[in-house]
Chains A and B, each alone.
Chain A
Amino acid sequence: MSEVLRMELRKVLTTRMWWLLALLLLGYMAFLGAAMAFSLSGAEGGATLTGDSSAPPLAERDVALSAYTLAASLGYVFPLVVGALSMTGEFRHQTITATLLAEPRRTRVLLAKLAAGLAVGLVHGVAGTLGAVLGGAPVLALRDQPLFLGDGEVLTQLVFSVLALAVWAVIGVGLGTLLTNQVAAVVVILAFTQFVEPILRLGLTAVSALEDVAKLLPGAAAEAMVGSSLYSASGLLDLLPRAGGTAVLLGYAALFAVLGRVTTLRRDIS
């Protein structure tokens, strides 16, 4: 098994995509973290980005948390795509043949890819979380607000932000296995994360009977795993407890992986 894992890790490390996307994620989250810290802390400074002063002001720690954990709410598409590419790329470049020649036991190949995806996901988790902190903290400091970087709950949420992003990469591997066409996979990922889930969450929450369903959506589960989110901090949406969110998110990872194993990986490779 360790040989297959080494094969999969080398596949990742010998291409540029994983670190290019991680760098992009870091930069993007730094920008969003700064913007978020600026707009949320602005309520007391007299100016807001949105000009929306009707919402209740957040506690100072929640402001910091909202900025620091942004990656789990807005940056997860990066590890998700990187995870998916690890399988769609094999079909796109037809290297799946060489992979299955090296290891004909297909379940092992998938497990190794999931593990390698987790490793890359951790790198993305660190990049995204670090980016949000690097962007948010200086703005808070400029506004003379406390940074809470030694705060236990803040540190815990930062760790879970890293972990949640890593799980997204694992979900991506399963998704890419299920949907091996690279273009289709990326389109589905972008459409779901950018439009479908946000709309579903707001729509389902508006109907009280379906409110609990909204909590089971993957994005909501990831935010629950982290422990706070943009939506919940502002009191807009409820989340599952952390353990529940973690379980649901891991459930998605397992579901896609199993579906991919019994569909794509059972077929003839020709």
Chain B
Amino acid sequence: MTAVDGAGDAIPVEVHELTKSFGAVRAVDRLSFVARPGAVTGFLGPNGAGKTTTLRMLLGLVRPDHGTATIGGRRYAALERPTAVVGADLEAAAFHPGRTARDHLRVYAPRAGVDDRRCDEVLEQVGLADAAGRRVGGFSLGMRQRLGLATTLLGDPRVLVLDEPANGLDPEGIVWLRGFLRFLAGQGRTVLISSHVLGEVQATVDDVVIIAGGRLVHASPLGDLVALASRQVRVVTPDLAGLERLAAEHGWAATRTSDGMLLDDTTPAAVGAAAHTAHLELHGLAEEGASLEDVFLRLTARTEPAEPVRGGAA
């Protein structure tokens, strides 16, 4: 028995300097991060950021140009019984439409080292017990997501890798998924989920890894991302020219709005005092914390998406 095959183990996912180009497109660029056991890690980035490509490299489906991606220190393909260590779901609709949900699971059961009873068990776990005998061709997107999740759970893996698991789920389904993933992480499992919407996973994740254009732009506990949200002061005034002068005098970075300005890195007290001194008429003065989504957008907008590799062989 090697360490990674035992149940109850803490198995980190480690990505190191991972790089992959498709022709002229550098999909993933020297990406490094760690997803730790006992936590849900949100792997975030806009469309085309390289999330799926990274996960496919982690799972041995795509060969990296450089770098390594390991599970408990071993490459996926080197695991003795991979689906008993890592449960991965990459494609929402990857089912043979003619198979029933139970038969779909029975196909993958032998390699996960489990029997038919376990297939019914995981169907129960994801709330598909009633649909076990129905052909997958007639399933809704949400049901497919649940069946995909059931497939990942077959071998009772210590690591879960899910690509956009919330896609196609209704609000109730998202709440259910959140609770389920929190529960799995609470058992000490390593849960890595991708999404292109921070808001979708904000309430689920402990850590965030944010990429854009194939590169890492931010990795931290979720709380540190909140701290990144810089404070802004919203000012409403009929005298826009006066406000502009005031902002320039005090060196506040400012963004125009229709009826005033958003001022960065200052406080309502400072703005109010300055306006009073300058006899500037104010109609509104309020502090606004940028939402996490704003921070996410700002972080991912900084890097151009998927730049072509210049010169040389790709």
Contact = CB atoms under 8 A, between A and B. Distances in A.
Contact of B110 (A7, A14, A270): A7
Contacts of A100: 60-61
A241 B302 CA distance: 72
A10 B95 CA distance: 14
Contacts, number: 79
Contact of A95 (B56, B82, B94, B103): B94
Interface residues of A toward B: which range?
Answer: 20 to 34
Given A14-B106, A268-B61, A270-B53, A103 B95 contact: no
Interface in B100-114: 100, 103-104, 106-108, 110-113
A84 B187 CA distance: 43
B91 interface: yes
A101 B107 contact: no
B111 A4 contact: yes
Contacts of B94: 93-95, 97-98
Nearest to B77: A104
B84 to A, nearest CB: 10
Contact of A15 (B52, B99, B108): B99
A94 B82 contact: no
Interface residues of B, number: 35
Most buried by A among B77, B93, B96, B103: B96
A3 interface: yes
A7 B99 contact: no
Given A7-B111, A11-B107, A101 B96 contact: no
Contacts of A15: 96, 98-99
Interface string A14-43: 111100000000000000000000000000
Nearest to A11: B107
B96 A104 contact: no
Interface of B: 52-53, 56, 59-63, 76-77, 79, 82-83, 86, 88, 90-91, 93-100, 103-104, 106-108, 110-113, 151
Nearest 7 Cβ contacts at the A-B interface: A104-B77, A14-B103, A102-B111, A94-B94, A6-B110, A268-B62, A269-B61
26 contacts: A3-B113, A6-B110, A7-B110, A7-B111, A11-B107, A14-B100, A14-B107, A15-B98, A15-B99, A16-B98, A93-B94, A93-B95, A94-B91, A95-B94, A95-B96, A97-B90, A97-B94, A101-B59, A101-B83, A101-B86, A102-B82, A103-B82, A103-B111, A104-B79, A268-B62, A268-B63
